[in-house]
Each structure stands twice: as C-alpha cells, then as structure tokens.
Amino acid sequence: MLSFSHAAIADDFEDGVVAYGKGDFASVLRLWTPLAEQGHASAQFFLGGMYNEGTGVAQDYKTAVKWYTLAAEKGGEYAQNNLGKLYENGQGVAQDYKTAVKWYTLSAEQGNASGQFNLGTMYREGQGVAQDYKTAVKWFTLAAEQGDASAQTLLAMMYEDGLGLAQDYVKAHMWWNIAAIGGAVDLIKNRNNLGKKMTPAQIEKAQEAANRCIKQNFKNCD
C-alpha cells in the first residue's frame, strides 16, 4: 500500500507537469494542491511560483509566500531564494531585509547562483546586514563562476571601482567581456569605456583572461 501511495503521488505530480506544459492550469491546481497540502516539496514550490507569477491563477503574493515557505523549510534552494526575494520586496509579507538575508544565505550556501547573487547584493547595499564589500565580492564571484551574468556585471563594476578588492582594470575588463557575451549593448559600452583608460597590453591580457575563463567553464578566472 505504501509503495502504491508513493507511485500514485509521483504519477499525480508528473500528470501536473504534463498539464502545465499544455497550459491546462485548472488540472495543474487540481493535481498539485492536494500534493502540496500533503507536504510534497516540489508541488509546494511550483504552486508558489504559479501564485507568485500569476500563472493560471490570480497573482497572490501571500499564497506564494505560504507555499514557498513550506518548500524552503524542507531545504529547497530555489524556494529559499524566491522567498528571500518576496521578503526583500515586501510582497505578500512586510518588507524584512534580515529575513531576506536569512533565506538568501540558506540558498547561497547550497550553491544556488541566484541566491548567491542576491545575497551579494544585500551585502553590497548593506540591507539586512552591515555593508561589507568583501563579502559581496565573495558571493558575486561564486555566482559569476556559475555563469550568472548579473554577478559578472557587478564584479566588473567592483573591480573597476576598487570596492571590496584592489582596483584592477584588467579583471574588470575581463568580467565586462564575459558579461557582454550575450551582446548587451550597455555592457559592451561599459567595457569599451573602461578600455579607454587601459593600455593595449592590458586590454589584450584581459581578453586572453576572458577567453581562458570561458573555455574552462569559469574555473580559471584568476
């Protein structure tokens, strides 16, 4: 009976995934809500997302907080990050930077790149924690090494301005290069503006470092 119950739960969840892909959100809610109420972490997380984004339901941040909290308390790194964002923005709950930092930290410590970026931002801005540029750099670096373009952009800015680390135009140019891979005009403009302050040798060194970093999947960016 127990194995049948687990199989039935798995089937209902997968049926919900299929229904979601078809845009049949009424079926999704019918299938996932009972699972979430029984403690199914994935159902709780995805329901939280539906209410957070207003996908197939009226947008309801309070209900999103409810489901994200249940999933986050089970250790879900994505739920922890998303819950942190709701606390940071004061959506569905009173704005609370300290609680946002709590959830971002739990997510970041599990290696979640978005959690690491968001936590770095809190340290950079001094929201919910004492402003600490070095700690911000730590978390931005971890996220950047997972390919997070937003973290790469912030690292470039911090190397260029010398915030939390020694000012280093070569490193800044390297991260601007990497962050601009998608062709974002503003990032390319920032990289080129920095290049005006650098020697040709420095620019060549930065470009070589960027290529090496990318080829080695962000594992050799020093």
Average pLDDT on 12-19 reads 95
CA distance 169 to 195: 8
Strands (DSSP E) contained in the chain are none
Three-state SS annotation for 134-167: HHHHHHHHHHHCCCCHHHHHHHHHHHHHCCCCCC
Which pLDDT score is estimated for 5?
Answer: 59
Q: What is the pLDDT of residue 6?
A: 63
- Quickly state the pLDDT bin for 218 (edges 50, 70, 90): confident
pLDDT in tens, 109-146: 999 999 999 999 999 999 999 999 999 999 999 999 99
d(CA 111, CA 99): 19
4 has a pLDDT exceeding 50: no
Cβ neighbour number for residue 50 with a 10 Å cutoff: 21
Identify the pLDDT of residue 10. 74
Please write the tens of the pLDDT for every residue from 97-116: 999 999 999 999 999 999 99
Helix/strand/coil percent split, the chain, to 5: 75, 0, 25
Q: What is the pTM of this model?
A: 0.92
Give me the residue label for tokens 């207003």: 54
Residue 1 pLDDT exceeds 60: no
The Cα 170–Cα 195 span in angstroms is: 9
Question: Would you say residue 9 has pLDDT above 90?
Answer: no
Inform me whether the pLDDT recorded for 215 exceeds 80.
Answer: yes
pLDDT band at 7 (very low <50, low <70, confident <90, very high): low
Give φ, ψ of 65 to 5 degrees. -60, -45
Average pLDDT rounded to a whole number, residues 166-185: 93
